[in-house]
Structure 1
Amino acid sequence: MRPALDTTALTAPFGPEEERQLALAARADRPSPLGLLWRALGAGFLALVFTATFLGVLDEWVERGPWPAAFFLLVLCGMAAFVVAISISSLGAAQRRRARHLRLERFARDNRLYWMPEGNAPQYPGTIFSVGTTRLVRDRLFAGSGEFFDVGVLQAMTGSGKDRRTVEWSYLALRLTRDLPHLVLDSTRDNVLGQSSLPETMHRAQRLSLEGDFDRHFALYCPAGYERDALYVFTPDLMALLIDEAGDFDVEIVDDRMTLFTRRSVDPLDPETWRRYERIMELVLPKARRQTRRYRDERADAGETIALEGRRLRTGVPWSGLAIGVGVLAGWVVLRFVLGGG
C-alpha cells in the first residue's frame, strides 16, 4: 500500500524560490523589444485606418444631431474597455496557469509521482480512451512504481464539421489482478438532463438489473451470457462501497483495468479530491480484487483469459437523444410553418 499522499503543496503559500520562478516565467512571456516594435507598428497602422473611418462616420452622425454621435462614442468606449478587460484577464489567466502547474509539479515531486501538464492520452482499454479522433490529456499524475494509478483530464474531439466538439472526462485508472469481462456501471448521478453521459451508448439488451435498490444509483451493462459473472463481480458489499465513495463516477472494467470517470469537473488542486481517490484505492480497489481473484471465464478457449464474446460490450443507438432531436425539429416546424403561417 502506498503511503498517504502529502497534499501540502496544493494549498501552502509559495516560498521565495517559487515566487522567483513565477516572476521569471512571467518575464519570459513578455514580448522582446523587436516584438514590441512590430506590435507598435501594427497598432499604429490600424489606428490610422480606424481614425480615418471614425472621423468620417462621426462627421456624418454629428450632422444628424448630438444623440447619435454620443451613442457612437459610447459604443467605441465600450469596445475599448472590453479589449482592455480581455487583455488583463488573459494575463491573469496565464499567471494562474503557471501557479497551478507549479503546485502540481511540487505535489508530484513530494509524492514521487510523474506529472504531465498536457500530452497524448494514454493507450488504455476503455471507452473514454478510444472515443473521438483526437485525444489529449492534461493535469495528468501517475505512479511510476508501487501501486499503479493514473489521474487526469481526458479531452476528446468528436464529430466533424459543424458538429465537431470537445468533451472532457476526469478519470482515475486502476489495475486489477486479472482480466475480466467488459462491464460498465453507468452512474445516474453523472447523467446530463436525465441522459447517460457515457462516451458510447450501450446496447439496451445488455442492461442487467442489480439486486436491491442499487439500480437507483447505477445502470449495469454486461455482455450477453455474462449476467452471472457480472453479479459475481459486483456484489452488494462492493456496490455499497461504490455508491458511498464513487457514486458520481461511471465505472468501467476492461481486461485488467478499472477506470472511474465523470463529466463533472474534478479539481486536482483540492486536497479533498486526493483524499477521495485514496479512499477509492484503499476501500473499493482491494474489495474488487478480493472479489475477482478466483474468477475464471469457463467459456474461454485454451490460452485465453476471456472468451471473445465477453471482451467487449456491444454499442447501440442513442434513441433517447434522437427522440429529443426529432421533438425539437418538429416543434420548430410547427412554429415556423403552422403557427407562423409561412
Structure 2
Amino acid sequence: MEWTSALPFDARPLVEPVDRNVVRAYVQRLRAGGRAPKAAPAAVVVAVVVGVVFLVMFANIAVGILGSFWELARDGGGGSPAGILFAVFPIFFLVVIVGLVVVVAVKLFRGASGERWYRLDRFAQANGMTWHAESPAPPLPGMIFGLGHGRRATDILRGSEPRFVEFANYRYTTGSGKNQTTHQWGYVAVKLSTPLPHIVLDALGNNALFGSNLPASFDREQRLSLEGDFDRYFALYCPRGYESDALYLFTPDIMARFIDNAAALDVEIVDDWLFLYAKRDFSTLDPATWAWLFAAVAALLDKFAQWERWRDARLADIAVPTAHPAVAAGPAPALPFAAPTAALRPPPGVAPQGRRLTRRVPWGTIALFGGFVLFWLVLQSGFFGGILSALFSR
C-alpha cells in the first residue's frame, strides 16, 4: 500500500451492500483459479454442531413422538404395513430435519465466508494491496510462527510500497486429544531493509493476570529500562551487550510513536522483520480496526530510515578491504590526497550473540505443576486416607 495521502484510506468495501449473485460468482472464480480452498471443512464442523444441538434440544420431544408412534404401531396397527409406516415415519422425519439443518448451516457458512472474502479482496484493491485467502505455516521468524501444529494464516492482506507489509489472522494448535488448545493471533509483518538485533516490546496493557500474554518468556537480565514513560507501556528486552544499540534505535521520538500508536500491541524485531501482535483478529470487516492498524504502521514507517543506518560494531572486522586481483601484486599507487584512517563502516547484519534473545526457563510454573502432580500421586496412594483412618480409630 502507498502509505501516503496519494491513496487515502477507503473502508467502503467493508460495509457497503453487496449482490449475493456477484459474491457467488466471485467465490466460484476463486475456487476455479486456486485462490481459495476447494472445500470448507469448518462448514461441515459447524453443520454437525448445529445438528447435535438440534437433537439435544428436541431429544425429549423426539423420544415422546417415537414412543407414541411405536405404541400405535404395536397396538393399533399390529404388524400391518400401516403400523410399520407409523413406526418408521418419525425416524425418517427426524433424519430429514437434521439433514436440512446441516445443509442450511453449510450454505450459511459458505455464504458468510464468500462475502467476507469478497469484501476483504475489494478492500485490499481499494487500498493498493492484494488479498490472499490463506497460507499454511507461513515461513516467518517471529516467536508465534514456529509453535504447535496446524499453523495457518488466513485473510492475508499484503502491500509492497514503500516496503512489504502483511496483515493477517493466525491460528496454531498445541496439545492433542481433549487437551488441544487453539491459539488465536493477529499480526502485522513489516519487512525492514537491514537486519537488527532481536528486540521484544511486551505491551503491559494487554498482559494476563499472571503476566505476559506472549508465548515466550525471556531472561530478566535482558530487560532494559528506557527513559520517560516508556516503561509504563512496554517491557523492552534486548540481548545482553546490545543495550546501547537499543538506545540508538529507540530514541525519544520513536518511543513516543510506539506509545501513541502501538501501546496495545506486542512488538518483535527479529532479523529484518518487525512484527506487531495481538491475541485477536486483525483482518476483519471492522473499519475501525483497519484504521487503527493503518495509522500505527504509517506512524512507524517514516522512522525506519534511522534504523536502517544502524550497524553492528561487532562486525567491524569483516569490513576489511582487499586489493583488486589485477593490482594486488604491484606497488600501491600514490594518491594525490590523504586516505581516511578511520575504520570502515561494518556491513549490514547482526553478530550471532545479538540475533536471538535468551529464553527464560519458567521454573515457577514447573515447580507449581510438579507440586500438583506430587499431590495427586499422594492422593492416589491413599496416604492421607490411612492417616485419617488411624486418627479416627483412636
Q: Does 1:293 align with 2:297?
A: no
CA positional deviation for 1:5: 3.2
Consecutive unaligned residues in structure 1, runs of 5 or more: 30-49, 60-77
CA distance 1:84–1:331, shift in 2 (3 Å): farther
Q: In structure 1, which of residues 187, 190, 202 is the aligned counterpart of residue 203 of structure 2?
A: 187
* Match of residue 317 from structure 1: 361
* Match of residue 262 from structure 2: 246
Counterpart Cα distance in 2 of 1:191 and 1:238: 22
Counterpart Cα distance in 1 of 2:120 and 2:201: 30
Counterpart Cα distance in 2 of 1:156 and 1:285: 29
Q: Does 1:94 align with 2:110?
A: yes
Q: In structure 2, which of residues 269, 276, 292 is the aligned counterpart of residue 260 of structure 1?
A: 276
Sequence identity percentage: 39
Question: What SS does the aligned partner of 2:138 have?
Answer: coil
- Give yes or no for contact 1:114–1:144 (8 Å, CA) kept in 2: no
Q: Does 1:165 align with 2:181?
A: yes
CA positional deviation for 1:130: 2.2
* Match of residue 119 from structure 1: 135
CA positional deviation for 1:20: 5.8
CA positional deviation for 1:81: 9.3
Counterpart Cα distance in 2 of 1:323 and 1:235: 40
* Match of residue 282 from structure 1: 298
Q: What does the per-residue CA deviation read over 1:77-106, in whole Å, with 9 as the maximum and x for residues that have no partner?
A: x9x999987775554333222211111122
CA distance 1:315–1:253, shift in 2 (3 Å): same
Counterpart Cα distance in 1 of 2:123 and 2:350: 39
Q: What does the per-residue CA deviation read over 1:26-55, in whole Å, with 9 as the maximum and x for residues that have no partner?
A: xxx9xxxxxxxxxxxxxxxxxxxx99xx65
Q: Does 1:139 align with 2:151?
A: no
- Give yes or no for contact 2:262–2:296 (8 Å, CA) kept in 1: yes
* Match of residue 46 from structure 1: none
Q: Aligned ranges for residues 200-215 of structure 1 at < 5 Å?
A: 200-215=216-231
CA distance 1:244–1:120, shift in 2 (3 Å): same
Q: Aligned ranges for residues 217-236 of structure 1 at < 5 Å?
A: 217-236=233-252
CA positional deviation for 1:322: 3.6
* Match of residue 18 from structure 1: 22
CA positional deviation for 1:115: 1.3
Counterpart Cα distance in 1 of 2:365 and 2:103: 40
CA distance 1:271–1:333, shift in 2 (3 Å): same
CA positional deviation for 1:335: 9.2
Question: What SS does the aligned partner of 1:154 have?
Answer: strand
Letter in 2 for 1:313: L
Counterpart Cα distance in 1 of 2:225 and 2:375: 35
Counterpart Cα distance in 1 of 2:185 and 2:27: 32
Q: What does the per-residue CA deviation read over 1:266-297, in whole Å, with 9 as the maximum and x for residues that have no partner?
A: 3521112221222122212222x133232111
CA distance 1:16–1:320, shift in 2 (3 Å): same
Question: What SS does the aligned partner of 1:197 have?
Answer: coil
Greater radius of gyration (CA):
2
Letter in 2 for 1:153: N
Counterpart Cα distance in 1 of 2:187 and 2:282: 9
Question: What SS does the aligned partner of 1:189 have?
Answer: helix
* Match of residue 175 from structure 1: 191
CA positional deviation for 1:151: 0.5
- Give yes or no for contact 2:218–2:237 (8 Å, CA) kept in 1: yes
Normalised to the residue count of structure 1, the TM-score between the two structures is 0.73
CA positional deviation for 1:12: 0.6
Normalised to the residue count of structure 2, the TM-score between the two structures is 0.64
CA distance 1:155–1:298, shift in 2 (3 Å): same
- Give yes or no for contact 1:5–1:274 (8 Å, CA) kept in 2: no
